[in-house]
Structure 1
Amino acid sequence: MNDALLRIAVTGVTGRMGKKIIQCIVKGEKKFSQKIILGAAITRSNASICGMDVGKLIKTDTLGITVTDDLELVKNDFDVLVDFTAPSISMEYLKFCVNNNKNIVIGTTGFNKADESCIMNASRKIGIVFSSNFSIGIALISRLLHRITHIIGDNSDISIVEAHHNKKSDIPSGTALMIKNTIVNALRSTHSIAAMNRNVDYPTYSSVSSSDRNISIHSIRAGNIIGEHTVLFIGSEERLEITHKALDRTIFAHGALHSAIWLGYDKVGLFNIGDTLGINALL
């Protein structure tokens, strides 16, 4: 299979990300068209679009691939599954991939600790790229924040502000929690008294603005905002702000497909977007 195109199955094809990923696969972008092909399109059980040609779904020519809600029917048609759905659905897809030795890219957010434990256990058998955000910009910021926190974290009030569209259900966003975790780990690794005295356990979020001591997350759900994240380090004499704004969901689709190509058929383990880009080793 070394000379064959990597076959991608896309889940949640009626959702924003599912459609965008399929469009990026089939519209013939050179960086993808020479490496991957759409192998299967998956939707939720008993969806009305089952049996529809994917081309009609994304308003293009007939592609000869029909939407299905049964992975068993297409298990021989793909090599890597790309999933941006919901936690409970993702867990079912993950179980299928483990049982059928298929690698998976997971961009779903809102998992609980039990789900994350399942993902970790599954990565002992298959290859998984799991990230809350698949943009290159966020991957770079995550690494940069670790260095910044080492230098000024103990002397700053730290806040994270995130904004998304009003249909996004998880609050705060998975990206905001990932950013917070990066900062928390950096504070711990300084071994300073100030870092050790911070309360760094994640609180239970029941509103759009919650905090634990000096690291707070403020969430906004409004309009059709794709995704915006700002990290503030505020000292007594200056304020540093780092902001990332997603202007189009294409950046997430590109990151997910790049990750699928990087993962391929044979890698085993748990990885994130930084691993696939080589960013984790840069800073």
Structure 2
Amino acid sequence: MSGTAPPAPEHPRPLRVAVAGASGRMGRMLIEAIVASPDLRLTGALDIAGPSVGQRATAFLGDVPGPTITDDIRAGLQSADTLIDFTRPAGTLAHLGVCRELGVKAVIGTTGFDEAEKAQIAEFARDVAIVMAPNMSVGVNVVLKLLAMAAKALGDGYDVEVIEAHHRHKIDAPSGTALKMGEVVAAALGRDLKECAVYARDGYSAPDRGERARSTIGFSSIRGGDIVGDHTVLFAGDGERIEITHKSSSRATYAQGSLRAVRFLAGRANGLFGMDDVLGIAAAEVSA
């Protein structure tokens, strides 16, 4: 054979990722997952001022090269395509402001936002692409679809309770995932969660105490030990009950879901997306 050999195919550039809260439990899990992914590269690591600032973000993995942890948001995002943020609402909003300036996409796993803060995030998404979800676990997002199906099929004849358990360090309650589960069930039943949610029961006086109102959706929160995250939605009827449960034994599920979200955002300039978009189940029909 003769002639010139065709050029070798070009390999796409790895997606450049920055991690906020780099020295925390979730931050380290994300960093480890990114380092293990050949199509991703860790280029930035953010944290609040403290002893971790100035340290190599990958030091806990041994002799693995990586960026230095910084509390300078702009410096931490300068070389990134996408930020993954599992911090706190105020910090996430500050990070998103710089993301918009620099054109950096964002994957947000932070919970505890109020309605005004969610509106701010939607405004940021007019300029940069954002995936935001109260839980990045693939399993949890499949469970959300199952809950909608169950609620539609069971209708108003069942009492609904959401029970969640997390580690002692979690600062918000109920968890963002529990609230999302409640929203999904309420929507399937034609209710507004703001109107029907009950977050505490004590004593005998209505409306949040005493005999249970059929139209309410109750929430119970447990905090203790190192529980990663357990969620159960209980549909209790006369003579039977249905429980749909998801239990996380490792934060690795959140990390892997986050990396799927990073890949989903590649090539998207703007817009606000959820994990159902990432998983391709947003438009899935739910029927009784």
The TM-score, its normalising length taken from structure 2, stands at 0.87
**Post-superposition offset of 1:169:** 0.8
Paired position in structure 1 for 2:6 = none
Q: Which has the higher helix share?
A: 1
Paired position in structure 2 for 1:191 = none
Residue correspondence of structure 1 range 230-245 to structure 2 within 5 A = 230-245=232-247
Using a 3 Å threshold, how does the CA distance of structure 1 residues 207 and 272 change in structure 2: closer, same or farther?
Answer: farther
8 A Cα contact 1:135 1:252, kept in partner: yes
Distance in 1, Cα, partners of 2:276 & 2:78: 30
RMSD between aligned residues: 2.2
Which residue identity lines up with residue 113 of structure 2 in the other structure? F
Which structure is richer in relative contact order (CA contacts within 8 A, separation 6 or more)?
1
Paired position in structure 1 for 2:45 = 41
Paired position in structure 1 for 2:79 = 77
Distance in 1, Cα, partners of 2:193 & 2:65: 54
| 2:276 corresponds to which of 274, 277, 281 | 274
8 A Cα contact 2:52 2:69, kept in partner: yes
Which of 1 and 2 has greater Rg?
2
**Post-superposition offset of 1:143:** 0.9
Where has structure 1 moved over 6 Å in runs of 4 or more?
none
SS of structure 1 residue aligned to 2:58: helix
Query: Can you give the 5+ residue segments of structure 2 that lack an aligned partner in the other structure?
Result: 1-9, 203-207
Distance in 2, Cα, partners of 1:116 & 1:254: 24
Bigger shift: residues 265-274 or 136-145: 265-274
Query: Can you give the 5+ residue segments of structure 1 that lack an aligned partner in the other structure?
Result: 189-194
SS of structure 1 residue aligned to 2:164: strand
Distance in 2, Cα, partners of 1:108 & 1:199: 21
Which residue identity lines up with residue 266 of structure 2 in the other structure? G
Residue correspondence of structure 1 range 86-101 to structure 2 within 5 A = 86-101=88-103
8 A Cα contact 2:23 2:57, kept in partner: no
Residue correspondence of structure 1 range 94-243 to structure 2 within 5 A = 94-188=96-190, 200-201=194-195, 213-243=215-245
8 A Cα contact 1:79 1:265, kept in partner: no
8 A Cα contact 1:80 1:265, kept in partner: no
Distance in 2, Cα, partners of 1:204 & 1:187: 16
**Post-superposition offset of 1:81:** 0.3
Percent identity over the alignment is 36
8 A Cα contact 1:259 1:273, kept in partner: yes
**Post-superposition offset of 1:47:** 1.8
**Post-superposition offset of 1:91:** 0.7
Aligned residues: 267
- Residue 14 of structure 2 is aligned to residue 5 of structure 1: yes
The TM-score, its normalising length taken from structure 1, stands at 0.88
After superposition, give the CA deviation of every residue in 1:223-249 in whole Å (9 maximum; x if it has no partner). 110000000111112110000000110
